[in-house]
């Protein structure tokens, strides 16, 4: 099996090639409490709180806040390590040191994160008068997001392990709701977090959404979960995912009990919409065509889904590709993509129903990896 360090080097090679095509001498990526960027983990293995500098001559420097953690997690990365604390944890000070260390020529283009606030961008411009400081929406971070949309073999291996854990939790959740061990939204949310960590996960991929019959009408219940009853008469929604070795899963189950005819119709429509979408997920298919077909299917029953049909998953719970019907959505399905299909309908009186699967595109087409379902109690 290919060494993990070779995988990291292959990822770095992609962004270095892009930098060459753009004439960018240095790219800085920033991950901190205010602005998280999973691209640093993808390119170095270091999980959080660091700066990553990439130079046109194919050198990398990781300025990490926790240098001991970086030595462990980024040991397979070719990036040189610098203690971020030596620069008072200030990005501009660190960048000044790195430009000198790497010998970045005066007049070169240096790209900083697109999410940099405008006043801070002006500070960079003022401090680095010998360089052309670039801050743009369609820059390095955007390009890295596109690269991450197609997973490499290391990512697919990790994702496979995360899916096994997720599906195991689905079975346990159904069992415990049926037996009465899970009675409240809080019971469900805490059960997921504890059981995920017991199985080696870093935690959940996002804060679990647990909504009993009185709160399931919301797309994303607010607050995410309470101590309200779960799994009682009507429709209860449970939207969760695990985070394993950095990679997220994302599934939604609907628990249905003693439904009235209108609620049954809602559930049946969502199940059929899910089947329709999955049947259309083929290599070369525009993602927006699938979402548009589901929108049209619901419209025949005078229903409307108030959110996109799906989204990519990986180091973040929401990333590329996008699966929505917006006219500007240009994503086309291809092998290596992992994304959700999650049709849903919601009504203030009837409650809500959503069914979410994680889909892996293979060379032969779509593979439904999750055992998500409508659970009739």
CATH number of the domain residue 286 falls in: 3.90.230.10
Give me the phi and psi of 242, to 5 degrees please.
-105, 160
pLDDT at site 11: 96
Percent of the chain residues past pLDDT 70, beyond the cut: 99
Is 142 in the same domain as 165?
A: no
**3-state secondary structure labels for all residues of 334-350:** CCCEEEEECCEEEECCC
In terms of domains, do 318 and 169 share one? Answer: yes
> What is the count of structural domains for the chain?
2
Sequential pLDDT tens for the chain (377 residues): 345 589 999 999 999 999 999 999 999 999 998 889 999 999 999 999 999 999 999 999 999 999 999 999 998 899 999 999 999 999 999 999 999 999 999 999 999 999 999 999 999 999 999 999 999 999 999 999 999 999 999 999 999 999 999 999 999 999 999 999 999 999 999 999 999 999 999 999 999 999 999 999 999 999 999 999 999 999 999 999 999 999 999 999 999 999 999 999 999 999 999 999 999 999 999 999 999 999 999 999 999 999 999 999 999 999 999 999 999 999 999 999 999 999 999 999 999 999 999 999 999 999 999 999 999 99
What is the spatial distance between Cα 107 and Cα 123, in angstroms, rounded to a whole number? 17
Full domain range(s) for residue 277: 153-376
Q: What is the DSSP string of 83-139?
A: EGGGGTT-HHHHHHHHHHHHTPPTT-EEE--TT--HHHHHHHHHH-TTSEEE--TTS
My answer on whether 259 and 127 are in the same domain is no
Whether 141 and 179 share a structural domain: no
Whether residue 237 sits in one domain with residue 302: yes
């Amino acid at each position: 099996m290919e060494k993990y360090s070779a995988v990291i080097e292959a990822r770095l090679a992609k962004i270095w090639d892009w930098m060459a095509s753009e004439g960018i001498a240095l790219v800085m990526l920033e991950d901190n409490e205010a602005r998280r960027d999973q691209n640093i983990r993808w390119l170095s293995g270091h999980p959080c709180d660091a700066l990553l500098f990439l130079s046109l001559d194919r050198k990398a420097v990781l300025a990490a806040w926790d240098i001991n953690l970086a030595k462990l997690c980024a040991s397979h990365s070719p990036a040189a390590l610098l203690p971020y604390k030596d620069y008072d944890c200030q990005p501009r000070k660190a960048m000044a040191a790195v430009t000198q260390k790497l010998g970045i020529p005066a007049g070169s283009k240096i790209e900083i994160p697109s999410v940099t606030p405008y006043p801070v961008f002006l500070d960079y411009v003022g401090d680095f008068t010998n360089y052309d400081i670039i801050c743009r929406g369609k820059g390095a971070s955007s390009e890295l997001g596109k690269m991450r949309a197609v997973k490499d073999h290391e990512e697919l291996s990790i994702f496979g392990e995360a899916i096994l854990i997720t599906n195991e939790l689905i079975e346990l959740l159904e069992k415990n709701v049926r037996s009465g061990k899970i009675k409240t939204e809080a019971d469900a949310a805490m059960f997921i977090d504890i059981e995920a960590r017991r199985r080696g996960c870093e935690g959940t991929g996002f804060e679990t959404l647990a909504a009993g019959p009185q709160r399931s009408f919301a797309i994303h219940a607010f607050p995410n979960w309470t101590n309200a009853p779960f799994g009682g008469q009507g429709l209860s929604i449970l939207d969760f995912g695990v985070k394993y070795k950095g990679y997220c899963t994302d599934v939604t189950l609907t628990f249905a009990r003693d439904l009235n005819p209108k609620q049954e119709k809602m559930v049946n429509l969502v199940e059929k919409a899910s089947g329709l979408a999955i049947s259309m997920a083929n290599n070369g298919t525009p993602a927006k065509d699938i979402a548009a077909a589901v929108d049209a299917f619901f419209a025949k029953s005078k229903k409307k889904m108030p959110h996109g049909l799906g989204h990519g998953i990986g180091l973040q719970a929401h990333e590329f590709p996008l699966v929505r019907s917006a006219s500007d959505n240009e994503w086309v399905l291809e092998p290596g993509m992992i994304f959700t299909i999650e049709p849903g309908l919601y009504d203030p009186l009837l409650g809500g129903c959503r069914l979410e699967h994680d889909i892996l595109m293979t060379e032969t087409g779509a593979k439904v990896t999750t055992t998500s379902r409508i659970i009739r109690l």
